[in-house]
Amino acid sequence: MASSVPSTPRGSFPRYLEHLSGSGKAIGVLTSGGDAQGMNAAVRAVVRMGIYVGAKVYFIYEGYQGMVDGGSNIVEAKWESVSSILQVGGTIIGSARCKAFHTREGRLQAAGNLVQRGITNLCVIGGDGSLTGANIFRKEWSELLEELAKNGKISEEAVTKYSYLNVVGMVGSIDNDFCGTDMTIGTDSALHRIMEVIDAIMTTAQSHQRTFVLEVMGRHCGYLALVSALACGADWVFLPESPPEEGWEENMCVKLSENRARKKRLNIIIVAEGAIDTQNQPISSQKIKDLVVKQLGFDTRVTILGHVQRGGTPSAFDRILASRMGVEAVVALLEATPETPACVVSLSGNQAVRLPLVECVQMTQDVQKAMDERRFKDAVRLRGRSFEGNLNIYKRLAIKLPDDQITKSNCNVAVINVGAPAAGMNAAVRSAVRVGIADGHKMLAIYDGFDGFAKGQIKEIGWSDVGGWTGQGGSILGTKRVLPGKFLKEIAEQIRAHSINALLIIGGFEAYLGLLELSAAREKYEELCIPMVMVPATVSNNVPGSDFSIGSDTALNTITDTCDRIKQSASGTKRRVFIIETMGGYCGYLANMGGLAAGADAAYIFEEPFDIRDLQSNVEHLTEKMKTSIQRGLVLRNENCSENYTTDFIYQLYSEEGKGVFDCRKNVLGHMQQGGVPSPFDRNFGTKISARAMQWITTKLKESYGKGKKCVSDDYICVLGISKRNVIFQPVADLKEETDFEHRIPKEQWWLKLRPLMKILAKYKASFDVSDSGQLEPVQDQNTQGEPAAI
C-alpha cells in the first residue's frame, strides 16, 4: 500500500505516532444507517485522536443527509464535545437514511459543503450501504470539484488544494453482517440485551414447563441468533444462511419431546427475523409456535425482542473495540495518499487490521447472492471463520446422537476446575463434557480442584447433567487454589483407580502452576503420562500463553458498569474525583482496560512503575480539568500496583492536593468482580475454546493409543490460548521462559500497547506505537497462517 509514512515490516523497529503530526488536516466524522451501541465511543476516539494529532475534526450531523444539507449540520468538534458519551447507546450525532446522496446532484452538494470547510478526510461509521456510498463519493470526488469550479461555486485553487478525498470506514452494525471483520461495533452489546432477556425468560419458562420461541434481529444474517443459541444452549435455532433440512418440522418436534423426556422443564427456540427454509420461504416465529402447539400440545409463547437489541448502554467489549477502531481510523487517514484505496478498520482475532473496503463490501454482497441462489454452504463459508465455527459447535452441543450411533473410544477423560471462580467456567465444562461424549469418551467430573482429586471426589458426568450450565456464574464443580504438589502420590493413585486417560484443566494461574507440577512429576509417576490441556479461566487475565481468559470480560463489564454509576454520581455533585481499586493481583489488565472502557483519567498498574511525580502530574491534570465543563474525575488502581502507594495513600494525597479544587472518594470493588452471570463473550469463548481443547485431547488419545506409546514428550501437556489472530496449543514447558513467577504474570502482555491509547483519550501526551498498522491486507489472506482465532 502506498503510504506517506514508510511502512515497517511487523516486528522491526517501532514507529510512533507523534503529537500534532496531522496539523493542517481536516477530518469529517459521520454515523450512517442503523444505529449501534458503541458508535459514540468510536466518534469520541476519532475526535480526540484527531485533535491530539493537530487536525480539525468536524461532526457531520444526521449522516449523509447532513453532508448534503450542510450549514449547521457540519460543526467543528471540541475536546469537551465528546465528554460523557462513552456510556451512551446509539449515536449523539444522529443517523438518517438519505435519498439525496444516491443522486449525483446530492453528492455534488455534499462535496461543495466539505470543500467549504477544507474537509478531505472522511471517517464513516455504518454498515455496508453507508461504506459503499462513501467509496462512490471518493471515486467521483475530483470530477465533482471540477463541476463545482465550472459552476463558479469554488475556485480553481480549491480544486488543486483539495484534489483527493480519503475514506476510512468502521462497521457499526448489531447484526455482525460485514465480511472481513470478526466483530462489528454493537454486536456484543446486542448479545448482552438478548442474553438478559433469555436469562429472565428461562426462570419463568422453568416454573411453568413452557416452550419459548424468541425472535431476534438479523434480516439477512443469523449471527445474533446463532451466538445467543450457543450461549444459552437453545434446543433449536433458525438462521437465514443455514436453513433446516427438509422434514425439519418432525425432527424439531422429536428433539423437543426427547428433551422433555430427559426431565428438561423448558424449551428455547431461537429464530432470526430473516429465517428461511431451503426453498427461500420465510419461517416465522408464529409458524413455529403453531407447529409446536399442534404437534406436541406444549404450552408455547412467542417473544419478539425487536429494538430492545439496539438500545441500552454499550458493553465493555464494544467500547474498547470502538475506541481501538476509532484511533486506528485516524492513523489510517494520516498515512493516506491520493493512491490509497478506501479501507475498513476491522478486528481479526485480537488484532486491528485494515482491509480494502471494496473487497469487504463485495464479499458481503456475495453472501446474500449465495442465499438468493440457495447455495447455503457457500453462504456459511463466505460469512467467515467465526460464523462457520460457531455453527459446527452449536450442532455438536445441541443434538445428542443415540448411544448406539456413537463409536466408543474406551477412554476416560476428566475435567477439573482450579483456582478462583470465574464466570464462564461452567459453560466451558458443559462444552467439554458434551464434545467428549460425542467423541465417544466417558467423561468424569473432578469436584473441588486438586484437593478433591486427591480425595477421590470423582464422578461420571452425563450429557443432561450439564444442561442449563452456560448461564450460571461461579463454578458448579467447585474450585480451590490448592496445588497438586503435596498430593502427587494420591492423584496418581486416583488416575489409576479411575483409569483416567486424559485431563482437561479449566482455571487460572494456579491451574498453570499445577500443570507445571504435574508435568515435572511424570518421571516419578507414570500415571501422569497422559495428555493434559489447560484452558485459561481467571478474571485477572494473567495466564501465559493466551491473550484472553474466560471470566475477564464479565469482570470488565462489572467494573465498567460500576464506573458508569460512579461517574453519574460525580457529575451530580461536581468537582469530585473517585479512586477505584480493581482486582487482578499484579496484572493490570482489568485496571487498564476498565480505564479505557470507562473513560478514566488515569489507571495505576504494576507493569508501569510510577512515583510521586506521576501522582503529582495526575493531580495537576485533574485540577486543570475542573476548570473546564467536565467537573469530575475517575482514577483506577490495580490492587497490587505498588506496595507503598496504596489506595488509601493515593486517596489521601489527592484529597490533600486537591483541597479547594475537588474532593475525593474511594471505592474498592472486591469480589463483586468474580461473581455475576457470565457475559455473552465469556459464555461463547468458554464454549468454543473448551470444545477445541476436547478435539485436541481426542486427537492426542488416537495418536498415543494407535501406537501404544506413553505421552512423555512436552507436546502432550499444553496450554490452549489465543495469540493475536490464532488459537494455539503451547507446551507448558515452553511457556516457563515467558513467565514472571514471582508476580504471577506473563513477561510480555499485548494490552500494554493500548495503554497510550487510554492516556491520549484522557488528554495526556503519550508515545503511541503504530508499527503494527500501515499494511492494507487482502480479505481472503487472513486465514492463511495458523488456526484462526475468531473471538
Lowest mean pLDDT among 405-419, 564-578, 772-786: 772-786
Q: Is the pLDDT of residue 169 over 60?
A: yes
Q: Which residues, including other chains, have CB under 8 Å from residue 522's CB and lie 6 or more apart?
A: 528, 529, 712
Region 68-91 average pLDDT: 95
Q: How confident is the model at residue 1 (pLDDT cuts 50, 70, 90)?
A: very low
Question: 712, 685 in Cβ contact below 8 A?
Answer: no
Q: What angle do CA 409, 490, 740 make, to 5 degrees?
A: 90
351 has a pLDDT exceeding 90:
no
The model's pTM is: 0.94
* Of the listed ranges 3-7, 133-137, 242-246, 276-280, the one predicted with least confidence: 3-7
pLDDT, tens digit, for every residue of 619-636?
999 999 998 888 889 999
Q: Is 175 a catalytic residue?
A: yes
Catalytic: which of 35, 69, 128, 175? Answer: 175
pLDDT value at 281 more than 50: yes
Render pLDDT for 447-469 as a digit per residue (tens, 0 to 9): 999 999 999 999 999 999 998 89
Residue identified by cell 465498567 is: 560
pLDDT of 658 over the 60 cut:
yes
Element (H, E) at 258: helix 248-261
pLDDT of residue 352: 84
Q: In the chain, what is the greatest distance between 2 CA atoms, to the nearest angstrom?
A: 91
* Cβ-based neighbour number of residue 375 at 10 Å: 15
Contact 697, 720 (CB under 8 A): no
Residue of 98, 137, 94, 103 lying closest to 119 (CA atoms): 137
Give whichever of 118-127, 252-261, 400-409 has the largest mean pLDDT.
118-127
Q: What angle do CA 521, 526, 532 make, to 5 degrees?
A: 70
Q: How confident is residue 10, by pLDDT bands cut at 50, 70 and 90? A: very low
